[in-house]
Amino acid sequence: MTAKLIDGKAFAATIRGRVADHVARLKEEHDLTPGLAVVLVGEDPASQVYVRSKGKQTKEAGMASFEHKLPVDADQETLLKLINDLNNDPEVHGILVQLPLPSHMDSSLVINAIAPEKDVDGFHVINAGRLATGQDAMVPCTPLGCLMMLRDHHGDLSGMNAVVLGRSNIVGKPMAQLLLGESCTVTIAHSRTRDLADVVRQADVVVAAVGRPEMVPGDWIKPGATVIDVGINRIQDGEKTRLVGDVEFDSCAEVAGAITPVPGGVGPMTIACLLANTVTAACRANGLAAPEGLTK
């Protein structure tokens, strides 16, 4: 392998340390404890593991963690009532509703019921609009984590060709907005893009967020490019299963200048940014400046 490995796990630990420092200062100087509420509907085992890990990391950073579980057949009104209560709870600065929701619920409606200033996922339409127009927004955690890694590796990104693979509202679109904000020349490629390989070959920065295991081979990568792999796909490997990203790691690492691994890349950064967003929300709710180095 010739590429430099971008260690998201280590970087995420650094971010969490900064979060914990800031939380300690908020307690001491302002008697303020940032609080994060996580809402889980249903009992999907992967979601349960993930929610538990968020709660643990929230507490480790010195913040208050509130977990709310609803049964899979809960009606939407019950969820909306809970969100309304959390919107009005002064101890809750951030609200995350774990996605996907059961199919009888309207996720857009549910997400848009969260007070925008408590929407630490950055999925509310107000936050999407603020990000797109360059105003202070809550920025979605996964793209924010990717941007932090890119900035850390490159410093200035201006003028670089960035190709974002995937056009989802939670990763692809906000990632493209952030890169545009860094003055990159941004292309969003997707399943209908013509000559996809040639498009990706133009990229100095590739962010792969399509959810297709090992879709990007090394011969699509421009020599020296930076590859950020957002994919977290569990595939069968003989008797066992293992996690792979959206890029073929070994072949891409032979060509790229730098690459994130899966696991240990974007995933841990996502949770670290969730904690960072919660601190930002708590600061803003109390008329304090958002912490340096933890926001966009």
| Beta-ladder partners of 39 | 68, 97
C-alpha distances out from residue 5 to 1, 8, 208, 234, Å = 9, 9, 16, 21
Cβ nearer to ligand GUE, comparing 48 with 251? 48
The answer to whether 232 is annotated as binding is: yes
Binding mask 232-261 for ligand GUE (x = CB under 6 A): x----------x------------------
Buried b (16+ CB within 10 A) or exposed e, 183-215: ebebbbbeeebeebeebbbebbbbbbbbeebbb
**Is residue 268 a contact residue for ligand GUE (CB under 6 A)?**
yes
Please state, in angstroms and rounded to a whole number, the distance separating the CA atoms of residues 8 and 227. 13
Give the position of tokens 């070959």: 201
Q: Where are the beta strands (DSSP E) in the chain?
A: 4-5, 35-41, 64-70, 94-97, 161-165, 185-189, 205-208, 226-229, 233-237, 240-244, 258-259
Q: Is 37 in contact with 95 (CB distance < 8 Å)?
A: yes
205-208 and 233-237 beta bridge pairing: unpaired
The answer to whether 166 is annotated as binding is: yes
Please state, in angstroms and rounded to a whole number, the distance separating the CA atoms of residues 110 and 113. 5
Active site residue 98: yes
Stretch that binds ligand GUE, among 156-164, 171-179, 188-196, 265-273 (CB under 6 A): 265-273
Stretch that binds ligand GUE, among 18-26, 69-77, 93-101, 151-159 (CB under 6 A): 93-101
Which of 57, 98, 173, 222 is catalytic? The answer is: 98
Cβ-closest position to ligand GUE: 267
Cβ nearer to ligand GUE, comparing 34 with 94? 94
Cβ nearer to ligand GUE, comparing 42 with 264? 264
**Is residue 270 a contact residue for ligand GUE (CB under 6 A)?**
yes
Please state, in angstroms and rounded to a whole number, the distance separating the CA atoms of residues 132 and 117. 16
**Is residue 99 a contact residue for ligand GUE (CB under 6 A)?**
yes
Instruction: Name the minimum Å distance from CB 9 to ligand GUE.
Output: 6
Cβ nearer to ligand GUE, comparing 97 with 221? 97
Reference 276, options 97, 57, 80, 46; nearest CA is 57
CA-based Rg of the chain, rounded to a whole angstrom?
Answer: 19
* Contacts (CB under 6 A) with ligand GUE, residues 104-123: 121
**Is residue 264 a contact residue for ligand GUE (CB under 6 A)?**
yes
Active site residue 56: no
Active site residue 119: no
Which of 57, 119, 121, 204 is catalytic? The answer is: 121
Catalytic residues: 54, 98, 121
Known binding-site residue numbers for NADP(+):
166-168, 232
Residue ranges that bind ligand GUE, judged by CB under 6 A: 50, 96-99, 121, 141, 232, 243, 262-264, 267-268, 270-271
